[in-house]
Amino acid sequence: MDWDEEERRLQEEYRRRMEELKASRETSEVVGQVLTRGLLPLYVLHLLAGSDGSRNGNEICTEIGRRTDGAWQPSTGGIYPLLRKFEKKGLVQGQWQDPDRRTQRLYSLTPKGVDEVNALRQGTRPKMMRAFQAFAVVLKDLFGEDLIVHSSPKEAAGGED
């Protein structure tokens, strides 16, 4: 066996895999940034509107990650300030699960929050549809493929669902 050749092959394989990992991380970060800046407020209100009870910030983060198969995993460092902002605006009501210990704050939608989430849904839908149309054109131009809507992000990435 030629050890020098094997070492070069392994170094090349390592370099290639590191580049793939870096590209994957960058893609995930870009997706997260786009979704967090544009859709996080609406999606948090939507999740609170659809829940049977109150949720804390960790549960909201976990639910977003679960629904998107991990493609979008916002941090609690972005969720909790957003929830406090909503609380100041009267869109959500926060209550301590144990007021004496103040260990976990649970949030629920107020009637004003219900009105807000409905207004945001109506205003955001046309913008999202235009964005999807633009992405479809770019996808077709770059890769010669039509935009195909998958049932989950994992399926869209070619994984099994």
Which tens digit of pLDDT belongs to each residue from 33-73? Answer: 555 567 889 999 999 998 777 999 999 999 999 998 888 88
pLDDT digits (tens, 9 = 90+) for 57-68: 999 999 999 998
Task: Determine contact, residues 83/92, Cβ cutoff 8 Å.
Answer: yes
More confident position, 149 or 18: 18
Distance, in Å, from the CA atom of 122 to the CA atom of 84, rounded to the nearest integer, reads: 24
Residue 97 pLDDT exceeds 80: yes
**Long-range Cβ contact pairs of 146-149 (< 8 A, separation 24 or more):** none
Q: Where are the domains of the chain?
A: 1-38, 39-156
Check if the beta carbon of residue 56 is closer than 8 Å to that of residue 107. Answer: yes
Architecture of domain 39-156: Orthogonal Bundle (1.10)
Question: How confident is the model at residue 23, as a pLDDT?
Answer: 63
Let me know: does 32 contact 84? Beta carbons within 8 Å. no
Query: What global pTM score does this model have?
Result: 0.68
Q: Is 1 exposed, middle or buried (0-12, 13-18, 19+ CB in 10 A)?
A: exposed
